[in-house]
Chain A
């Protein structure tokens, strides 16, 4: 049972004796803290500042004309994808997978993450090009 007697999500075995798990936890924490800032900016910009709560097509194109916005949105995409897939990995590892299966899951999630970020970059490029 993970962390049955603590409010922390950090696995009990996640210490210097298990460096791989430590690195995953650290990345999860770092991306999580980054997301508090980036997701807040994303939500405010898209749902609270935008007139009517959501931008129309012309508004989206105009919004993406600012290079700083593109940098922030791409950073958000990479951070949220990494955080989400690291979380999914932790849940999948709770199934008590073999070392080989854990390796396959990690590879599959890397592939999914790369595809996700690639799709986001393609979409951003398509919108800015069409605009």
Chain B
């Protein structure tokens, strides 16, 4: 029973082991890792929004906290996750529909470069607020 459970866990976690694997598995793992992070963020975000139901003092108190450097850094991390997952996901979708399959590695590199540029611009805007 324990062995069966171990093998299922191993199988489920196989995607995260990118050691010695090509760019394809890195892209796949990156998409899943950012996806898991964004699901966790979604529910944290919804929990935080519950303060809006408690009225102005609760929400405005949170807004003051959210403008601190620590929270802005979390926003910058969130932006990176959104850009990587969004643009990598777009490539996955295009490839899934048979578009750009032959040039998928180039597409991955181009879209991740675009992510990096957009992330730098976004980071400057977030810290500049």
What residues make up the interface of A, taking CB atoms closer than 8 Å to B? 1-10, 25, 29, 32-33, 35-36, 39, 43, 47-48, 52-58, 60, 80-81, 84, 87-88, 91, 94-96, 116, 119-120, 123, 126-127, 130
List the A side residues contacting B125 at CB < 8 Å: 48
- Report the separation of the CA atoms of residues A52 and B60 in the bound assembly, to the nearest whole angstrom: 12
Cα A54 to Cα B75 in complex, Å, equals 11
Number of interface residues of B (CB under 8 A): 54
A-B pairs under 8 A by CB, number: 124
**Contact assessment for A126 and B104 in the assembled complex, using a CB-CB cutoff below 8 Å:** no
Given contacts A10-B92, A123-B52, contact A43 B36 (CB under 8 A): no
A122 to B126: give the CA distance in the assembly, Å.
30
Residues of chain A within 8 A of B86, CB atoms compared: 32, 35-36, 39
Q: Would you give the shortest CB distance from A79 to chain B, in whole angstroms?
A: 12
- Asked if A7 and B24 sit within 8 Å, CB to CB, the answer is yes
Enumerate B46-100 residues with CB–CB distance to A below 8 Å: 46, 49-50, 52-53, 55-56, 59-60, 63, 66-67, 72, 75, 79, 82, 86, 89-93, 95-97
9 contacts between A and B (CB under 8 A): A3-B28, A9-B92, A29-B97, A32-B90, A35-B86, A53-B72, A60-B59, A94-B12, A126-B53
Q: Which residue of A8, A10, A87, A120 has the most chain B CB atoms within 10 A of its CB atom?
A: A8
Within the assembled complex, what's the spacing in Å between the Cα atoms of A29 and B88? 12
Q: How far is the CA of A95 from the CA of B10 in the complex (A)?
A: 8
Q: Is the interface of B mostly helix, strand, loop or mixed?
A: helix
- Return the chain B residue nearest A84 by Cβ: B39
Instruction: Please tell me if the beta carbons of A29 and B23 are within 8 angstroms of each other in the complex.
Output: no
Given known A-B contacts A4-B25, A9-B96, A57-B52, A33 and B15 have beta carbons under 8 A apart: no
Q: Which residue of A lies closest to B49 (CB)?
A: A123
Contact B90 A53 (CB under 8 A): no
Expressed in whole angstroms, the Cα–Cα distance for A81 and B63 within the complex equals 24
Also in contact, A127 and B67, with CB within 8 A (given A29-B93, A53-B129, A87-B35): no
Taking CB as reference atom, which chain A residue is nearest B93? A29
- Tell whether, in the assembled complex, residue B32 and residue A95 are in contact, meaning their CB atoms are under 8 Å apart: no
A84 to B43, alpha carbons, bound, how many Å? 10
* Contacting residues, chain A, for B14 (C-beta < 8 A): 1, 94
> Is residue B44 contacting chain A, with contact meaning CB distance below 8 A?
no
Is there an interface contact between A9 and B42, defined as CB atoms closer than 8 Å? Answer: no
List of B residues within 8 angstroms of A95 by Cβ? 8-9, 11-12
